[in-house]
Structures are given as C-alpha cells and as structure tokens.
C-alpha cells in the first residue's frame, strides 16, 4: 500500500512539472518597441508638416469708439446677422450732453453772426453816405468776420459731437456669424474694447506658424496640402496668401495665412489642421542623395553604423547592425555615400539598447 502511494506521488509530481514547463513554453515573448524610418532621398526630406488653426476668411473684431455702459446687446454666439444690423449700443449720456451743448453754441453763434451782419450793413450804408468814418466801417467788417468764423467753428463742433453719438452704436459691417461675445449687458466698457467677433465672408483660411529655418522657403502662391483630424480621410488644397515678414513674439514663429481652395462647409473656425509643404517642388534641380536622421547613426571602433530592420508585416521585425559610409551633414541629416539603399528600414531611436539580431516591435 505504501508502495502504491509512493508511485502515485511521483506521477503527480511529474505531471505538475510537465504542466509548469508547458506554461513556460507558452509564455508570450515580449518584443522591444522601436521607432523606424524608411530611407529616402533628399527630396523626400523636403516634405514638412506643421499644425495650424482654421480661421474665418474675414474675422472682424467689433468695438465701440467711445466709453459708456452697454444698454443694448441682443446677440448670441452662432447668430447670423446682416449688414447694418444693430449689434450693441451705449447709454451715450456724455455724448448726448455734449451734442446738446454744441447745438446751443451753434444757435448762439448763428444769432451773433446775423447781428454782426446787420450792424455791418447799417454801418456800410452810413459810411457810403459819409455819416460814418472808415474806421467804424472796418471795425464792423472785422466783427462780422469774427462772428462768421465762430459760427463755422460751432457747425464743425456740432458735426463732431453728432459723430460721437454714432460712436456709441455698433452695427454689423458685413453679413456674417457671431463667433464670440466678450461683454455683457450693463457692462461699463472703454473705447477699443472688443465686444464681439464677427466671422464674415465665405472663405476659410488656415493660420500656421513656421520656424525661421523654414520661412524663407515659403512663397506666395505655394499650394500645401491641408487635412483636419475632425474630418478624417478628407484632404484639401491650400494657397499661401500671406507670409509675415516679422516673428510673432508670442509663439516665436512667423505667421503664414493659407486660403483653402474649395473649402467644405464642414470646416469650422477653430478646427486644428495639418499643413503639409513639399519644398522639393520649388527646386530647379533634382538630387538622388540618400539622407538619414542624425539620431539613427551610431559609431563604434569599426566606424559608423545603423540598425537595419527586416520585416515582412511592418509590425514586427529583426534588427541587424550594418556599417555605412556617411558624407556631409545637412539640416535634414547625414548624406549617405554607401551602404544603404532607398526603401530600407532603419531604427531611429534607442540605438544604445539594441542588439544585433534582436527581435523588435515596429512603431
């Protein structure tokens, strides 16, 4: 009986050992993720993509030209307004008071002018009859001229004060959509303070900031490709219409405005866009030199090397240490003299931790 138990114990232990061994064999191999790049010629390196933001073709910031309290502000974001529609109105207390004073001053100046004219006519008649002296006549002429000047000045002041009243009204300069509302009813605002933003016009533009090493390559009329993350799968042709000559202090980049040719109504202001420039199209000569990033090149006692990636499914692969002969260093990377061919895949990050023959996961 003891012998049977002993045999059963040995069999059970053997089965447990076999099961554990099978589990170890079935354990999934963990592959190191690696970034890679397909080797291309220098023209391929001239394709650059930058992030931009969609803007209305005509974005108008609306503000008052005078100070006061808002008494009318009957607009909402997204509301359509027609040209000439009232957007906002100020109380205009100071402007109305100044206008009334200018009207009173004009009436007084007009009365004084008529009185001076009557006096001049009377003194002129007496002077012609010899009843008044030349000095009296000249004094009457000067008095009338002074009254006339004051009347003309009062007329101009009345016109100015009338304009001040109109500065307390904001009317839509164009037909469009209210994109932003920055103030509220009964708010005390100052001259030039932005009350609302009006998107007018049918065109849609992209505003993108370009670094200083790229801006000189951009020319008016260039046609970059535009895509939106919100409109997956759709691409649009752009047309560069403005290139800023000075840097934007806020972003340290040069603003460039791009018009969207045949823009879709699905494109809304504020959407993030990807703008792809092909600077190779502007070159008059074509070069076939291969260029690879600086970070993809390693060096040891035998020379410079890269890690080639052999992959059949572009998902996993095996790296091989491969020595190359590099040439000059350009802004795009090292020019390859020999050792690589166009279309080969090379690792671009983590060379220090890669081993010859190691299996990797492509990213």
The residue segments making up the domain with residue 82 are: 63-90+170-194
Does one domain contain both 133 and 121? Answer: yes
Whether the Cβ atoms of residue 254 and residue 247 lie closer than 8 Å to each other: yes
CATH code for the domain in which residue 85 is found: 2.40.50.100
Do residues 264 and 318 share a domain? no
CATH number (domain holding residue 270):
2.40.30.170
| 18 within some domain | no
Q: Does residue 12 lie within any of the structural domains?
A: no
SS (H, E, C) 101-141: HHHHHHHHHHHHHHHHHHHHHHHHHHHHHCCCCHHHHHHHH
Residues 174 and 85 occupy one common structural domain = yes
DSSP codes joined into one string, 211-227:
-HHHHTT--TT---EEE
| pLDDT of res. 288 | 60
In a domain, 252, yes or no: yes
Query: Is position 10 within any domain?
Result: no
Q: Is the pTM of this model over 0.75?
A: no
Residues 295, 358, single domain; the answer is: yes
In this structure, is residue 315 part of a structural domain? Answer: yes
3-class SS at 161? helix
Any domain includes 161: yes
Distance CA 314, CA 226 (A): 27
Clarify whether residues 162 and 223 are in a common domain.
Answer: no
Question: Residue 106 maps to which CATH number?
Answer: 1.10.287
The answer to whether residue 30 is domain-embedded is no
3 lies in some domain: no
- Asked if residue 251 and residue 217 are part of one domain, the reply reads yes
| 126 plus 233 within the same structural domain | no
Q: How many domains does the chain have?
A: 4
Query: Could you tell me if 157 and 105 are in contact, meaning their C-beta atoms sit under 8 angstroms apart?
Result: yes
| Spatial separation of the C-alpha atoms in residues 268 and 143, rounded to whole Å | 67
Per-residue pLDDT of the chain (363 residues; tens, 9 = 90+): 555 555 656 666 666 655 555 544 445 567 888 888 888 765 555 677 888 888 877 788 899 888 888 998 888 888 888 888 999 998 887 878 888 898 999 899 999 989 988 888 888 888 888 887 888 888 888 988 998 999 999 889 888 888 888 888 889 988 888 888 888 988 998 888 999 988 887 778 889 998 887 888 888 888 898 888 888 778 888 899 889 888 888 888 899 998 888 877 888 888 888 888 887 655 444 456 788 888 889 888 889 999 998 888 778 888 899 999 998 877 678 888 888 888 888 888 777 788 888 888 887
């Amino acid at each position: 009986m003891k012998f049977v138990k002993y045999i059963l114990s040995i069999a059970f232990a053997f089965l447990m050992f076999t099961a554990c061994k099978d589990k170890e064999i079935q354990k999934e191999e963990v592959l190191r993720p690696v970034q890679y790049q397909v080797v291309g010629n220098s023209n391929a390196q001239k394709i650059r993509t930058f992030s931009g933001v969609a803007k209305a073709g005509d974005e108008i910031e609306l503000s008052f030209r005078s100070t006061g309290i808002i008494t009318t502000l009957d607009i909402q974001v997204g509301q359509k307004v027609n040209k000439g529609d009232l957007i906002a109105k100020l109380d205009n207390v100071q402007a109305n008071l100044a206008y009334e004073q200018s009207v009173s001053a004009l009436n007084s100046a007009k009365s004084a002018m008529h009185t001076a004219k009557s006096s001049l006519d009377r003194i002129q008649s007496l002077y012609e009859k010899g009843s008044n002296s030349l000095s009296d006549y000249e004094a009457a002429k000067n008095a009338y001229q002074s009254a006339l000047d004051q009347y003309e000045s009062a007329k101009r002041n009345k016109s100015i004060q009338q304009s001040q009243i109109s500065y307390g009204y904001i009317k839509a300069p164009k037909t469009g959509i209210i994109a932003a509302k920055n103030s509220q009813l009964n708010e005390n605002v100052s001259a030039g303070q932005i009350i609302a933003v009006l998107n007018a016009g049918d065109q849609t533009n992209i505003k993108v900031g370009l670094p200083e090493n790229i801006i000189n390559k951009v020319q008016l009329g260039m046609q970059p490709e535009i895509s939106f993350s919100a409109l997956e799968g759709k691409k649009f042709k752009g047309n560069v219409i403005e290139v800023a000559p000075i840097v934007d202090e806020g972003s340290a980049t040069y603003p460039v405005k791009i018009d969207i040719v045949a823009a879709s109504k699905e494109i809304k202001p504020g959407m993030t866009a990807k703008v792809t420039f092909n600077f190779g199209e502007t070159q008059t000569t074509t070069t076939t030199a291969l260029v690879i990033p600086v970070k993809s090149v390693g060096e040891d006692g035998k020379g410079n090397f890269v890690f080639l990636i052999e992959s059949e499914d572009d998902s996993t692969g095996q790296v091989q240490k491969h020595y190359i002969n590099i040439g000059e260093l350009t802004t795009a990377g090292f020019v390859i003299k020999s050792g690589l061919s166009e279309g080969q895949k090379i690792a671009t990050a983590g060379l220090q931790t890669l081993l010859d023959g190691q299996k990797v996961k492509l990213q």
